[in-house]
Amino acid sequence: MFKRLFSLVLAIIFVFSLSACGSEDTVSVISSEPDSSVTSSTPEEPEIPANINILTGETTLDPAYVGKKPIAITINNVRVAQSVQCGLHEADVVFETEVEGGITRLLALFSDPSKVGQIGTVRSLRVVFAEIATGMDAVLFYHGIDHTYCLPLLPSLNLTTHVIGAKSDSFRASNGLASEHTLYTSGELLDKVLKNKGLSEGGNTKAWLNFSSKTDKDAPSDQVANNVVVNFSSSSPTQFIFDTTENKYARARKGVEYKDLKTGERELFTNVFVLKTSITNYPDNYHRKVSLTGGEGYYISAGAYVPIKWTKGSADNNFSFTKADGSKLTVNQGNSYVCIVNSDKVITFE
């Protein structure tokens, strides 16, 4: 009798054990089902406006130029020709760096050339500008070229170019200087070249900088930059004077602001970049070799500056910027002026 009672108790305990295990299994299955009431925390990619100007971040681009390649054009910047420059106040981006003999040259970029007036004076091409234009996915216009280093390089670049100098794409305008400083073009003429030859098709729609989504201009730090001087060489200082009314920087030389020869308008820029790098002589001991690998520098906007790091690398790559600590650099919407300067040159902030 005792044995039968003991066996019955064991059986009851076994049944309850199975029931408990089954209950745990059931709970496990239910807890693995997704809770539809929980919202995913993964942020959605911001929608890119259809009419964004990839060079300025502004949503004002004519729809006819969305997805089209911008144009880039080499601009004379020797001291004697600075007073006869045209079109820079309308540029979306301007690059300045050394070319030879202590002088600098400019590369001006425009997303919509159709609305740009007279541009110039136009000069010859150097390696550094060919490499910049390639990374910016631009159609490059120039007159003349460095035959020793630049001309042999062009076939290896994924770059669309057009040599100007014909009556259909340029003109000579008397400005009191030697003929080498008198070649001009216009946005209208260059736009016709683009359309007649189909050169601007297949451009990208990604902005070249991480632009702020706000139209307001924010200072990048509390480090004051009301007056900035970039000494490319003893003969080529470039100054940026902050205009508090415009909330932009006027390009100047020794306190005298540059003005467009044709329109008299000042050259005002929302953003200024100073990129430090190694600039040395090519083997001919004349042309300057500008390294675009990367380095340190400054981002300047809204009356302040912040140290940054930059990279580019190969010609196909575009510029990439971060703050000095490696965090993301957000840039104000608007046009930009980029100084690429030898690391040993003096940059002053006031």
For range 328-343, the mean pLDDT: 98
Tally the residues of the chain.
350
pLDDT, tens digit, for every residue of 191-243?
A: 999 999 999 988 888 899 999 999 999 999 999 999 999 999 989 999 999 99
CB 275 within 8 A of CB 297: yes
Q: At residue 216, what are phi and psi to the nearest 5 degrees?
A: -65, 150
Residue 230 is assigned to a structural domain of this protein? yes
3-state secondary structure (DSSP) of residue 308: strand
DSSP one-letter string for 236-250: EEEEEEEETTTTEEE
Residue 116 is assigned to a structural domain of this protein? yes
Residue 22 is assigned to a structural domain of this protein? no
Give the chain's mean pLDDT: 89
Give how far Cα 217 sits from Cα of 39, 158, 202, 220, 304, Å.
34, 35, 31, 9, 11
Q: What is the pTM of this model?
A: 0.86
pLDDT, tens digit, for every residue of 1-52?
A: 444 444 444 444 443 444 444 443 333 333 334 444 444 454 454 556 678 9
Residue 176 is assigned to a structural domain of this protein? yes
CA distance 161 to 150: 13
CA distance 160 to 200: 9
Sign of CA dihedral 296, 56, 333, 263: positive
Residue 345 is assigned to a structural domain of this protein? yes
Residue 42 is assigned to a structural domain of this protein? no
Residue 189 is part of which domain span?
63-349
Q: What is the pLDDT of residue 343?
A: 97
CATH number of domain containing 117: 3.50.90.10
State the total domains in the chain: 1
CA distance 257 to 268: 10
Residue 43 is assigned to a structural domain of this protein? no
Residue 165 is assigned to a structural domain of this protein? yes
